[in-house]
A and B are shown apart, each in its own frame.
Chain A
Amino acid sequence: MKKKILSLLVASSMLLAGLVGCGSSGGSGGGANSAGTGTEQAAEELTGIDAIIAEAETMTLEELAQKAIEESNGKTFYGVGNSSRGKSALPLFIEYLQTIDPNYNMEFEWQQPKNNKIFEQLTSDSLKSEGTFAMTLIQDGNQIQSKMVDTGILKTYVPKEWAEANGTTPDEYEGFLPLQTINKVFMYNNTGSAEYTNCWDFVYEGSHPLFMGVDSEIVGKNFLMMLTKDEYAGWLKEAYDALDADKKAYFEPTIKAMQSDANDLGLGANGAYALAWIKLWINNYNEQTDDGPICNTLVDKSAKDQSGLLVYSKLRSVEESSSVSVSNINVAAYQDGYTGIGGYGYSHYLFLTKNSPLPWTSCAFIAFMTTTEQGFDAWGKDMGGYSSNPEVAKAIEETYHHSEGGGDEFPAKNDRGYDWWTTDGKLVLEDPTYCSEVSFSVGSWIDVQDHYSTGEE
């Protein structure tokens, strides 16, 4: 029955669009990025989900909402994502649809698989003619590219209003659709005497920053791979040049030793600086299970001089006590005279599944999250997470004032915002295509580096 309704919807939408289907709906290779081509020629070749996406990309949120109401009233919507907040966003979406049709209702279930399971789950679901999951909110651009998009399992839909807010159009926009960028930044406990004035200080002798294992959270490995990109390797070189002579002398042998590896891996002129930093980081970071425990440690006054690289928003969850305080922590990049990378940013991307049972509703939900303040509210409450829509980001800042969230008492909580982080803050941003390209060159090189164990020196 569901199939019949879906077929009818698909057929009618195709008729409305004046399309004649003749291709395959599954598709592979080009994946989501190619779905947004709006030329008449391309549109004629699209069928199924691709055709729906092509049409949806020409529609406003209100028009999509109408489609969603027709499609999903009384049904159950299954979403899957790395962020649990999808569960909070769905009721707001339903409320929004009810402002258009008060009789509208939809059940929903939001799943958040652990570890790497989301990729297996989506792959498994893609085998069915009609999937369970309508859409996904997913991180790790590297695996998304190689496992989901190259295989045609996930499809990118770019909302018209989101594209306009970013000064482009769905046709012109290339890449995945990010809901938000999250930053992980260098922080350190300031109750001791240690000072971190350069990103190389985090890999200097005796430093063992707390960090989630690169195998348990792949976005961390993506960050390390991104450092080898010319732009970011250049930042590391600049930071190295700003070091004093003693520290330069300490790092120089490692940098020299990395030169041949950098050549073998085909890296740019500053590739050896990137590899040296990565090698020292892996040799020295103290692996933790999650950013939560890292934050709990760093804000405790007993963690003198300890440092870490963790999700910025964790600071929001600290409760002040006699031994725990946000004032015990410094955000490295906020300190005067700090040089070099301030952390890294990765995105949560939005996709439709290729066999989405509720494609119009998914498109409407995606548009709702990326083009309205209400839709982003589930994430907007937190500092350190930035909507990919500049208009929404602005509205969120006006509502929550993250830039002055800590006041004078807790300067670490005064979020300087996406623009600052990606310029002055020198945030290393994940590029799925680059990560995917170097995944088995730089990535394999990273795998063979020795990891630090406590007690080693």
Chain B
Amino acid sequence: MKSAIFKNKVKTWFSQPQNIILLLFGIVLTFSTVAPIVAIVQDTLKIHPGTIDQHLTGRVEGYTIVNYIDLFTSRLAKTNLWNPLLNTVILSVLTCFISILFGGLFAFLVTRTDMKFKRYLSSIFIFPYIMPQWTLAVVWQHMFYSNKVTGTSDGLLAAIFHIYLPSWWCQGVFPSAMVLGLHYAPFAYILIGGIFKNMDANLEEAATILDTPKWKIMFKVTLPMIKPAILSTILLVFGSAMGSYPVPHYLNLTTLSTKYISMNSTYTGEASILAIIMMVFGVLILGMNQMSLKSRKNYTTVTGKSGQLTKLTIGKAGKYVVGIVFMIITFFTSIWPIILFALETFLPNPGDYSFLYSGNLAHLTTKWWVTNQNITESGMYGQSGILYNKTIWHAFFGTLLLAVICALIAGTIGTLIGYAVAKKRRSKWANYVNNVAFLPYLMPSIAVGAAFFILFSNEHINLFNTYTLLIIAGVVKYIPFASRSSLNSMLQISNELEEAAIIQNASWIKRMVKIIIPIQKSSIISGYLLPFMTCLRELSLFLLLCTQGFILSTTLDYFDEMGLYAFSSAINLILIVTILIFNTLVNKLTGASLDSGIGGK
């Protein structure tokens, strides 16, 4: 009898797809998440030949805690640990603040006001996220550096207008946070905008009927409703800023990530401890997010009886003025870099804008595009022009393949997890799966890359420089994009919608295809597009997993570091055009896209 009840219980349990999803991905993701962590922890204890631990222990192999002792107590502790840690925290907090303020404000204006030029602005606003983050840092250098302040050649402002901006503006934490903040603002825009767009106006209308002041409605009704999106943005942006290597590297800020790379050769085990510290921060933020989730009661905003969204009127002139202000801002954050990229591919030398001072267009060149032989003269460094450069095009198709596969796998898994977690939101296992799926995102990309390298480079299996390894790392790292995007939207869907379908005997697949997915199409598509876009220009994660020339981002970084900005700028243009084509294609085929899901159209 008891066994029959048990069997029935098991059968009932398995009849719910969300349970199967949670069980399956709970197990798989535990391994894919825990294994890299174990690898890094092990690395902190391992003796590495030719590094400080060998010197301090006098042994060439085995395990030791000397790396911990040396990192925390040696006279280098301030240089190697505390200063970078402080810089990292400041950078991450500032980046979150800038991105939420800028992205959130823009999301509000697009979705809740009658601001003009929304369609254009909505499309253009995501450009900084499309571009690899350090390219904005390079643009920053080209704009603001000067011989007087940074000791380099003059940037555009110094050369043309003789404006010399102070050192804190040119290098360090401020420009790094600005660049990362602008880069991640589209994140805030997409996540917060998604909620704003789908928000039920009933609550605000009720407050209006009760004669509540507008500012009070904003702070007491509207903002609390978007709290999950703000928290998700903080989670995503904080972790990303903390793990960002290229931006602080280019803008001369020492963070845990840049230290990780610089210490890796001689202080290998200690560098891994820095990675662990970054992970601890990630786990802490995740814990804080969890506590906040526990306290909140209900964030259902989409119900069967949802009303029309009312839009705030910002005045006849105001709607144009605000629109134009944002057109100017987005011109400098989105269009200007592209103009500079395009221009760079026609300059005779990297950063050589002499045609502007001399007014002589003969100083422009097409050599970077059309040189069809391998020469070292004229600054080509043995590279063929972009149109004939096999390395660039090989990397392009490799990247495309990688991004499409990662997006499809991560998007599907993430969406399913988001759905299942939302359905079982009170279950501890669901919470666990949700967290374990999200954890890789909070780990610094460089550390995740290093961990996967260690995991898959041994005597039994060696996947270095293979798409398989990049796909595994990419999928694990990008599932959170889809799971967060999906979870946010699924939490808004009232259970009654699916229950109505169940009463009608609709199968799970039918319920998903006919009800759930159509309702939250834009968020779900975001869950595919975000991994796709991120993967296209991901560097930190893949830096250690493949060689340059294998994918576009490593090729781009190689050219940037070499100072061959014409090639890196061209790759940027290729990336932007590719993403725009895919965005348009998805838009035409499904009616949804990254930005149109939120506002604009």
Instruction: Report A's interface with B, CB cutoff 8 A.
Output: 84-85, 88, 111-117, 119-121, 124-125, 127-129, 132, 143, 145-147, 150-151, 208, 210, 213, 215-216, 218, 286-297, 299-300, 302-304, 306, 316-324, 381-382, 439-440, 443-444, 447-448, 453-455
Contacts and interface: CB of A to CB of B under 8 A. Distances in A.
A323 B170 CA distance: 23
Given A124-B458, A302-B147, A322-B363, A296 B563 contact: yes
B354 A215 contact: no
Interface stretch (B314-322, B373-381, B434-442): B373-381
Given A124-B464, A447-B76, A116 B378 contact: no
Contact of B562 (A85, A213, A290, A321): A290
B385 interface: no
Contacts of B457: 120-121, 124-125, 127
Contacts of A287: 252
Contact of A319 (B167, B249, B357, B378): B378
A318 B50 contact: no
A296 B350 CA distance: 7
B376 A316 contact: yes
A346 to B, nearest CB: 15
A143 B350 contact: no
Nearest to B560: A289
Main DSSP-derived SS at the A contact region: loop
B75 interface: yes
Most buried by B among A125, A143, A286, A297: A297
Contacts of A208: 151
B548 interface: yes
B349 A319 contact: yes
Given A124-B458, A304-B147, A455-B149, A112 B352 contact: no
Given A120-B544, A132-B462, 12 more contacts: A112-B547, A116-B265, A121-B464, A124-B462, A128-B459, A145-B50, A290-B563, A293-B350, A318-B379, A439-B266, A453-B171, A455-B149
Nearest to A290: B561
Interface in B356-401: 357-358, 360, 363, 365, 374, 376-382
A204 to B, nearest CB: 15
A146 B50 contact: yes
A114 B220 CA distance: 51
Interface stretch (B107-115, B152-160, B276-284): B152-160
Given A292-B561, A293-B350, A296-B351, A440 B153 contact: no
A414 B36 CA distance: 52
22 contacts: A88-B382, A112-B549, A115-B264, A116-B265, A143-B265, A147-B49, A147-B50, A208-B151, A210-B151, A287-B252, A292-B350, A293-B152, A297-B153, A317-B376, A317-B381, A319-B352, A321-B354, A321-B355, A323-B357, A323-B358, A440-B55, A448-B75
B262 A455 contact: no
B52 interface: yes
B265 A112 contact: no
Nearest to B453: A120
Contacts of A116: 264-265
Nearest to A213: B262
B128 interface: no
Nearest to A218: B265
Contacts of B365: 319
A318 B355 CA distance: 16
A146 B348 CA distance: 43
Nearest to A207: B151
A201 to B, nearest CB: 16
Contacts of B377: 316-317
Contacts of B147: 302-304, 306
A129 B153 contact: no
A447 B71 CA distance: 13
Contact of B458 (A85, A127, A132, A455): A127
Closest 8 CB pairs of A and B: A455-B167, A292-B563, A146-B50, A215-B262, A124-B457, A147-B50, A300-B153, A293-B563
A317 B52 contact: no
B564 interface: yes
A297 to B, nearest CB: 4
Contacts of B264: 115-116
Contacts of A448: 75-76, 79
B263 interface: yes
A299 B349 contact: yes
Contacts of A381: 376
B359 to A, nearest CB: 10
A123 B159 CA distance: 48
Given A114-B558, A302-B159, A303-B153, A319 B49 contact: no
Given A117-B544, A319-B379, A321-B352, A454 B151 contact: yes
B596 interface: no
Interface string B446-471: 00000001000111001011000000
B150 interface: yes
B582 to A, nearest CB: 28
Contacts of A292: 350, 561-564
A40 to B, nearest CB: 32
B324 interface: no
B43 to A, nearest CB: 11
Contact of A324 (B75, B167, B250, B348): B348
B150 A454 contact: yes
Contact of A296 (B60, B153, B252): B153
Contacts of B382: 84-85, 88
A382 B352 contact: no
A329 to B, nearest CB: 12
A444 B350 CA distance: 36
A91 to B, nearest CB: 10
B166 interface: yes
A377 to B, nearest CB: 11
A455 B150 CA distance: 7
Contacts of B353: 323
Interface string B98-129: 00000000000000000000000000000000
B261 interface: yes
Contact of B252 (A119, A147, A316, A454): A454
B351 to A, nearest CB: 6
B168 interface: yes
Contact of A297 (B152, B167, B562): B152
A190 to B, nearest CB: 14
B172 interface: yes
